[in-house]
Structure 1
Amino acid sequence: MNLEIITPDKKVYTGEVNSVSFPGSEGRFQVLKDHAPIVSTLAKGDLVIEANGKKQTFVVDGGVVEVVKNKILVLAEAVA
């Protein structure tokens, strides 16, 4: 799956991932390969990426995520 994390200032991350765990505004959820299309709002919290057996964590300040055909686009208000 291809993941892009974008803030109003810059592109924070672009790359292939195996899974992504999101801080959804209604609770945490995970996206794996061939996930159904979804659009969700994000709360402040940890966005955890797993790629090539390694985990990487970003703290997002809220935003929106869209998943379509193994492409994940995160529009975050801010990322730490």
Structure 2
Amino acid sequence: MYLEIITPDKRVFEGDVTSVKFPGINGGFEVLNNHAALISALSNGPVRITPATGAQVEFRIDGGVVEVLDNKIIVLAESVNA
């Protein structure tokens, strides 16, 4: 899967990942390869990324929206803290 995390100021992360955990407004959820298409609002909290290579990465977001479609994930976040 390919993940992009974007804020109004910059692109924070982009690359291949095996899984991503999100802070949904109704509870956390995880996106894996071949996930069904979805659009969801995100609350404040950690986004935990497992890259295709390397150690787990975590960003803290202040709300936003995520779109999952055809193994591509786009996160539009209000702001991000590494």
TM band (smaller chain): over 0.9
Q: 3-state SS of the aligned residue for 1:18? A: strand
CA distance in 2: counterparts of 1:21 and 1:15, whole angstroms: 15
User: Structure 1 stretches of 5 or more lacking a match?
Assistant: none
* TM-score, length-scaled by structure 1: 0.98
CA distance in 1: counterparts of 2:35 and 2:11, whole angstroms: 23
Q: Deviations over 1:27-51 (max 9, x none)?
A: 0000000000000000000000001
Q: Alpha-carbon deviation of 1:53?
A: 5.0
Residue 36 of structure 1 aligns to which amino acid in structure 2?
A
Aligned residues: 80
Structure 1 residue runs of 4 or more that deviate by more than 4 Å after TM superposition: none
Percent of residue pairs bearing the same amino acid type: 55
CA distance in 1: counterparts of 2:49 and 2:22, whole angstroms: 9
Residue 18 of structure 1 aligns to which amino acid in structure 2?
T
Q: 3-state SS of the aligned residue for 1:20? A: strand
Partner residue in 2 for 1:43: 43
